[in-house]
Chain A
Amino acid sequence: MPVFAIGFGSADTAVLSSLAQQTGGIFHNGGATSANSQAILQSIGNLLANQYVVRWQPTSTSSGTRTIELIARTATATARATGSYLSTICQASAIPIVPGMSGTYYNAARNFEGVVLEVLAGTTPQVAMYWYTYGVDRKPLWLVCLVW
């Protein structure tokens, strides 16, 4: 939540400035009086009334620091802003299921058991999975799972 700070009298400008900066607000430094406070509040109101929400869906699945640069142009002016964030959440969940994942999978501690996976091409992957394992009766057990 952005904090818009206004310094009256002997206000601690360092604290107010830091508070505004860290929250994405603005600090109106000194000079605020009862006479001009309305104008200051009006400017803050104008600022809040002319904000845009920009949503962005990253296409990269890599982790690390990402920098976003936002450029707004009008007929007479250009505004530019940049920001960075650390991508960590995407890394764990943005590994798409692709045909290249097809193959045989196993666990070295569980020889003679495993999974064969086939991922078919398509925008919505179709999957065939064959799990060869053993039943509680110690007999071979096959599971064939199809995701269409």
Chain B
Amino acid sequence: MAGVPRLVTNNRIIIDNVQQFEGGIFGPGYNPSKVTAQTWGRVEMSFQSCSNLSFSYQGPTAYGSGSIPLTRLATPAGLTCTQ
């Protein structure tokens, strides 16, 4: 799945056109021309701090919508965040 560019504003990252790719296959048989995309839904990440965010999604009917609180597990070396 891939999202088309959307929006980074204040403390939020908003991707309103998340797409799902289908048609690929593992190994040497992989053929990118066989891969197709279809819209999956919307994702929004709202940060409360450097290590906590609310992850919201609106997917296809079968997936519905919801929100999941997420916490940082790891930070790449050399980066700092003081928010």
Contacts and interface: CB of A to CB of B under 8 A. Distances in A.
B-side binding surface: helix, strand, loop or mixed? strand
A95 B8 contact: no
Contact of B72 (A103, A110, A129): A103
A108 B71 contact: yes
A83 interface: no
B47 A95 contact: yes
A145 interface: yes
30 contacts: A61-B83, A92-B48, A94-B10, A94-B11, A95-B11, A95-B49, A97-B8, A97-B11, A97-B12, A98-B83, A100-B75, A100-B81, A101-B50, A101-B81, A101-B83, A103-B74, A103-B79, A105-B53, A107-B70, A114-B73, A129-B43, A131-B1, A136-B62, A136-B63, A141-B1, A143-B1, A145-B2, A145-B18, A146-B2, A147-B8
Interface of B: 1-8, 10-13, 15, 18, 20, 40, 43, 45, 47-50, 53, 55, 62-63, 68-76, 79-83
